[in-house]
Structure 1
Amino acid sequence: MQDRQIILTRLIAAPAAKVWQCWTDPAILPRWFGPEGYSCVTKEIDLQQGGLWRFDMIGPDGKIWANRHRYTLFDPLKRLEFLLDGDDDSAPPMEVVVVLEAEADSTRITQTMTFPSVEMCQGALAFGADRLGQTTLAKLEAAAQKL
């Protein structure tokens, strides 16, 4: 399975409660989510287990990517899981697991993205998903520190 995964980790200088709030507050999540230079326009948002977030991610060049997160697990302050796709059922979704672990006054976040195929994972890596994902986590840290 490792050849189908991208794993991002970062020590965020904010407590787990603030990091969790950034993931689960519908007013906050769209403001930080996505790589540096990208923005999100929400179509529908229900941040809870069994809920979903439908949005367009807009790149710095104006390109638009439809997204849908279907939340399958909320374990407050510890873990959330969701299925990620292009806001339709034309292809199998990516599985995303986000784990938060308190470390003193900080939070270690580990985000594991499991792609349906090796080819899809390789395509994401070729696009720079690992590097872009780190900029997303930096935006998360900045958002959590402002709370």
Structure 2
Amino acid sequence: MTTFKTSRHIAATPSAIFAAFRDPERLARWWGPDGFTNQFKAFEFQPGGKWVFDMVGPDGTIYPNESVFTRIEPDRQVTIEHLCPPHFSLTIGLEPAPEGTLLQWTQTFIDASVASAIRHIVEPANEQNINRLSQEVA
């Protein structure tokens, strides 16, 4: 098992950040690395709910995604299980902080060899994703 972790202070309240996640139109604007767009097919924002979408790369390549929301705590945490390859779980934690919110992004891959093979993509992509979220809530 391999876990990638990053944290960031964001100058917005936990509720403002959570709102950018629960609203599919807003989420589609910021989800993913730089240059990617999203086409949501299903977005059931509740524990056990499906999240099915295509990420479209800058070159037009379509990356199908299917996840399930496994835990949702309003203004505190969202956890998803990514059901299609590469398999991982992602927890986004939100903690109130004097500057706004301490966001903790924890992505765990069960297969360490998969994580190792895509580390060079995952680490910068996660940072870009958080940058885009920060811009969305600014």
Instruction: State the TM bucket, normalised to the shorter chain.
Output: over 0.9
Contact 1:16/1:106 (CA < 8 Å) preserved in 2?
yes
2:110 maps to amino acid: P
1:135 is aligned, of 123, 128, 131, to: 128
Contact 1:24–1:48 (Cα < 8 Å) also in 2: no
The CA RMSD measured in Å over matched residues stands at: 1.5
- TM, length-normalised to structure 2: 0.93
2:49 pairs, out of 47, 51, 67, with 51
Structure 1 residues 92 and 32, CA, compared in 2 at 3 Å: closer, same or farther?
A: closer
2:106 counterpart of 1:112: yes
Whether the 8 Å CA contact 2:10–2:99 is kept in 1: the answer is no
Unaligned runs of 5+ in 1: none
Asked if the contact 1:22–1:143 (Cα under 8 Å) also holds between the matched residues in 2, the reply is: yes
Amino acid at match of 1:142: Q
Structure 1, residues 11-60: CA drift from partner, whole Å, max 9, x if none? 11111110000111122111110011111111111112121210001111
Question: Helix, strand or coil: the match of 1:28?
Answer: helix
Distance 1:46 1:40 in 2: 16
1:73-122 C-alpha deviation (Å, 9 max, x unpaired):
11111111110133xxxx68311111101112411111111112111111
- In the alignment, the residues of structure 1 paired with residue 100 and residue 57 of structure 2 have an alpha-carbon distance, to the nearest angstrom, of 30
Number of equivalenced pairs: 138
Question: In percent, how many aligned pairs have the same letter?
Answer: 27
Partner of 1:63: 61
Task: Verify the 8 A CA contact 2:90 2:106 in the aligned structure 1.
Answer: yes
> Structure 1-normalised TM-score?
0.87
User: d(CA) in 2 for partners of 1:93 and 1:111?
Assistant: 16
1:37 counterpart = 2:40: no
Distance in 2 of aligned mates of 1:10 and 1:55: 26
Tell me, yes or no, if the aligned pair for 2:87 and 2:109 is still in contact at 8 Å. yes
Please give the alpha-carbon distance, in whole angstroms, between the structure 2 residues aligned to 1:49 and 1:20. Answer: 15
AA in 1 matched with 2:92: V
